[in-house]
Amino acid sequence: MIIGCTGNYEKTNFYKIIEKLIPFIEKSKHTLIIDDEIPFEKSFDKVKSLDEICKKCDFLITIGGDGTILSTARKIKNKVIPIFGIHIGGLGFLTHSNADNFIHSLKEIFSSNYSVVDRMILKTEIENTNKVFYAINDIVIDQGSSPRILETNVSISNTHLNKYKSDGIIICTPLGSTAYSLSAGGPIITPWLDVISITPICPHSLSARPILLSADDEVKIDFNDEQIGMKITIDGQLSFEIEYSDKIIISRHDLNIKFINLNSSDYYSNLRNKMGWLGNVR
């Protein structure tokens, strides 16, 4: 196998993992290629740009937190390369391997005890502009620097759904359901479902509740009032102001993101662990 490696090299533990990863891969008679953006001090001749890595590798290791996976997926764009995450961040739901068990996890991969799973991506367009973005987790529209309540008109496949009066709304994938949407009261969605979730942020109405839509639906958002400072944020990483006259269209992207899923992994066990569910709370 040819394995690419990238990650958040600003984290101290990143280099501790790299120093174990290189000899293990070489001993396993596979090839490791490291992203040339990583300031790796030790001599290592297999260093390429991420673009070159994606053309050659069978899968891509990312070392970091969920944010590292999101930024990596954005960098590789339409190159559909399976991603295997080694977690060294805080609370994270996109990775199942960590500094303690990644060697064992890689042994499972090399023994073919894994599958490649597809997870949906959302395409976000600003109508009448050339602005197009892709979200793996979520799209957040909020009042930004304005102190005013944000009024958003939401239509689903050309049918009016609701006018939300709130601090904003979150449109997310099942993967993103355990991110900002969860904090705002949205549901946890198992990642293999094909649905889109809309969750209002601090709505000014008790009747405003999260809703699940078909992944085939198109979500269109516009605004009633002239308001400055409104903002759209993609995956918590790309953020910019929008105009009250903008119309935002969100739909499922044609491509999916691919993850390596170990056959021994258990989504619900991982969820219980991340959420701290004890099973005996009264």
According to DSSP, residue 52 is labeled H
Residues contacting 226, CB < 8 A, separation 6+: 244
What value, to the nearest 5°, has the Cα angle with vertex 197 and ends 192 and 198?
A: 170
CA-closest candidate to residue 92, choices 127, 116, 115, 63: 63
Which of 45, 51, 66, 246 does the annotation list as catalytic? Answer: 66
CA-closest candidate to residue 198, choices 181, 220, 183, 221: 181
Give the strand order in the sheet containing 138-142: 211-214, 195-201, 168-172, 138-142, 231-234, 238-241
Catalytic residue status for 254: no
Catalytic residues: 66
